[in-house]
Structure 1
Amino acid sequence: MFLLAEAIGKRHSIPHNSSRSCLMKRSVGPRSGAIGSQGMRLCQVVEAAVGDTGRHVVELTRALATRGHDLTLIYSPTSADSAFRHSLCDIRAEVVPLPIERAASWRDIPAARSLGRMLAKRGPFEVLHAHHAKAGSVARLAGTGGAALVYSPHALEAAGRDRRVAARSLIELGERLLGATRTDAFVAANPAEWDDAGRLGIDVERRHLIANGNQAVTARPRGEARKALGARDGDCWIGFIGRLTPDTAPLLFVAAALGAMRRQSNVRALILGDGEQAVLVAQAIAASDHAHRFVWLRGIATKKWIAGIDLLVVPGRAGAVDHGVVEAVAVGVPVIATMATGARQLLGEGGGQLCGSEALPALLLALLADPTRLVRLRKEAVSAARAVRDTDMVDRTEALYARLAARR
């Protein structure tokens, strides 16, 4: 079943060049004409258009476009995943590719110059919003042509993680200099990111706490999702959603799931995602006696499956609240997460539990052994769903843009 599920995931994934036809439908030349008196000319820039960052940028761009604003979205095609490329097909924005390398290098200078020329050609813009650390550095080096610059790091603490001390120091120095001289507004997705910005010298007047959310979550109904998974009566499904990277800790999820499977015959596991640790995850599952109890789908939209699971497990390290958590809580799926994840802010509203990484397997076993606790957490998740609608996120972001534009 595990291998079959992998094949299903691959069959449904979007080929690398699938968005080319979508992009070719748009003009990418200079624009003319004004939009409505209430509309702003906005530019979103993202390098790491993968996972939750890519989804956030697309959903924010889509929502702002429907409100009458004129949107340009600049992204790096070398760092975009299939879900992001596919989403470009139905977005009301001018989409422009600009290759930006993931790692810091001297090539950031010509990339910044190219971005500067691009902004001059397609502008003027009132606000330029750079997403993720690399786009933030390139955009701030490029200059904005008079536009206000907003920077969302999407997990600032992770930018220097797992790097040598010298590299981390260089990244921090760059954030300090660019934050002090080239940043009009810093958007933190959670309190930890807010505090990190303060330690980097971003004054409180330029810091804005705007939690991620998700607009009108329209997940496939629970019964339909479970039927598609092949769930049987009495099955208990646990899920992992996101990029398979060291930060998201998919191997910890697999280990915890296998531990639960050894104790309970009704436990099944769903993995939604792909990434650099995919081979390691596949090896860990294949080496177990329970590979047939895993379903792994790559490149599949979360909303098609999220309601079918009974518990979402988030074993990763610190970062912004991810969209998988937001969607899970929004449709009443409880969550357990490590204390090191950005989920701690959202789960403060209810619908889940937090623990240390070493305690996660034991907490998972305890919850699966006590169905009444899962029922209670599900009810809490439904109650907490009101806190994760992204209308507030879009409203607050739009209001920030308007205040900044008025000062230009």
Structure 2
Amino acid sequence: MRILEVLRAPVGGLFRHVADLTRELAARGHSVGIVVDTLSNDSQTEVLLDDLGAHASLGIHRYPMPRLFGRGDLTTPLAVSALARRLQVDVIHGHGAKGGFYARLAKFGRTKARVFYTPHGGVLHYPKISASGRLFHRLERMLMGKTSAIIFESAYARKTYAELIGEPSCRTEIIHNGLRPEEFVPVIPAGDAADFVFVGELRALKGIFTLVAALKDVKRRDGSGASLVMAGDGAERGSLEAQIDQLGLSGRVSLLGAQPARPTFAKGRIAVVPSHAESLPYVVLEAAAAQLPVISTRVGGIPEIFGSTADRLVPADDVLALRKAMQSAIDDPDAAQAEMKIRLSHIEAGFSIARMTDSIEALYHGSLRNADAVFH
């Protein structure tokens, strides 16, 4: 197959998903091209795209994709449609709100490609009452007829989409994100590892203030205060530092700045993901696959990752519940390890990159076969 993947900014979990999918599809003999934004690239994203370029035999193509609305919203769909015709692609797959918008608008051109769409949160982050939400949700309903299938990365995302926008009239599939085989190799905590490790953006939505407040009264078995390392950066780092100082935790909390997740896991013994909202966060998958005990909140698709251990999830923005879970993990490490192994088996069975790509590839093939049957 000849496949065009369309997304806006090549950063975060969405880009990781597209990059993994591109590499796997290319390894299976498919020709893949990438469409990204010209407005949000920096030196870091250029390195990522250059690395991916070896697997994108149809090239990496850049067009303006404004974050909200702008001139690019008029010109880029036409450009994507023309590119799809020139490359003779069979499939256009849009990722995120803007990627899905451009991929489906391209069908108003003369391309015969089948169009798939994965929201990755995207439009699901816009409430119905906001002006942007009303507009994006209206566009979603208008473009449903141009969509061969919507791929949701979690059952939670599909449910939320139906609640905000309406029950999809096109085909839908729930296909969980997957991890690479090497990500299931256990990470061994360093000798001086902290008790807890957090990896994520430093913003209130990620539960950083709840986490630090919960840590204050968590004790080690020798009675000393538990420690925490936090990898990440963001606009609310200053407020977080002020909270740490105010609570007298400067000696117990280390802020590492932005760091890759996997090496950071070795700096802690128990991963904590205290988010107030999520879709299907890679960091939970990565930490669990690295064989760390994981404490997390019951938001988004995280219960799907936890499987039969989902009863261990805590409510979002609940300092007392989070503190209790953290203290329990320190007091009974054997129970935390046993729970980790149950969760690991669940993730190994359902969240591999091979399984993810198998499902998406089969969906592409099935849609193309149906199109050929209708044509003939």
TM range (shorter): 0.7 to 0.9
RMSD: 2.9
Tell me, in whole angstroms, the C-alpha distance in 1 between the residues paired with 2:69 and 2:330.
44
User: Structure 1 residue aligned with 2:150, among 164, 173, 186?
Assistant: 186
Is 1:338 paired with 2:297?
yes
Report 1:122-141 matches (<5 A).
123-141=87-105
2:355 pairs with 1:392:
yes
Matching of residue 284 in structure 1 with residue 250 in structure 2: no
Deviations 1:307-355 (A, max 9, x none): 5532222222443311111111112112222222321111014488212
Alignment map for 1:7-406 (pairs within 5 Å): 40-79=1-40, 85-91=46-52, 92-93=55-56, 94-105=59-70, 107-121=72-86, 123-143=87-107, 145-155=111-121, 158-161=124-127, 164-179=129-144, 181-199=145-163, 200-203=165-168, 206-218=171-183, 222-223=187-188, 226-227=190-191, 230-231=192-193, 235-236=194-195, 238-260=196-218, 265=224, 267-350=226-309, 353-357=312-316, 358=318, 359-387=321-349, 388-406=351-369
Q: Which residue is 1:20 aligned to?
A: none
Which deviations, in whole Å up to 9, do the C-alpha atoms of 1:49-81 show, x marking residues without a partner? Answer: 322112111111111111111111112254458
Indicate the SS of the match to 2:279: coil
Cα distance change of structure 1 residues 64 and 266 upon mapping to structure 2, 3 Å threshold = farther
| Contact residue 230 and residue 256 of structure 2 kept, 8 A | yes
**Cα drift, residue 185 of structure 1:** 0.8
In structure 2, distance between residues paired with 1:250 and 1:79 = 26
Question: Can you list the C-alpha shifts for 1:177-206, whole angstroms capped at 9, x where unaligned?
Answer: 112x22111001111212234443454761
> 8 Å contact 2:123–2:136 — kept in the other structure?
no
| 1:214-250 residue CA offsets vs partner (Å, 9 max, x unmatched) | 1213477534x525xx42xxx52x2222333444333
CA distance in 2, matches of 1:215, 1:110: 37
Determine if contact 1:54/1:84 at 8 Å carries over to the other structure: no
| SS of residue paired to 1:355 | coil
Equivalent residue, structure 2, for 1:30: none
Deviation at 1:165, TM superposition (A): 3.3
Shift of residue 390, structure 1, vs aligned partner: 1.9
How many aligned residue pairs are there? 359
Alpha-carbon separation, structure 2, partners of 1:125 and 1:381:
39
Q: 1:85 to 1:217 in 2, by over 3 A?
A: farther
Question: Do 1:133 and 1:159's aligned partners in 2 also have CA atoms closer than 8 Å?
Answer: no
2:61 counterpart SS class: strand
Helix, strand or coil at the partner of 1:217: helix
In structure 1, distance between residues paired with 2:63 and 2:252: 42
Would the aligned equivalents of 1:55 and 1:84 in 2 still touch at CA under 8 Å?
no
- When normalised by structure 2's length, the TM-score is 0.84
Distance 2:354 2:118 in 1: 18
Structure 2, unmatched stretches of 5+, are none
Alpha-carbon offset, residue 262 of structure 1: 9.8
Distance 1:318 1:187 in 2: 20
Q: Distance in 1 between the 2:204 and 2:35 partners?
A: 27
CA contact under 8 A between 2:218 and 2:225: conserved in structure 1?
no
Deviates more, 1:322-331 or 1:379-388: 379-388
Q: Deviating runs (4+, > 6 A) in structure 1?
A: none
Amino acid at match of 2:17: H
Alpha-carbon contact 1:351-1:384 (below 8 Å) kept: no
**Higher RCO (CA 8 Å, separation ≥ 6 residues):** 1
Secondary structure at the counterpart of residue 304 of structure 1:
helix
Normalising by structure 1, report the TM-score: 0.78
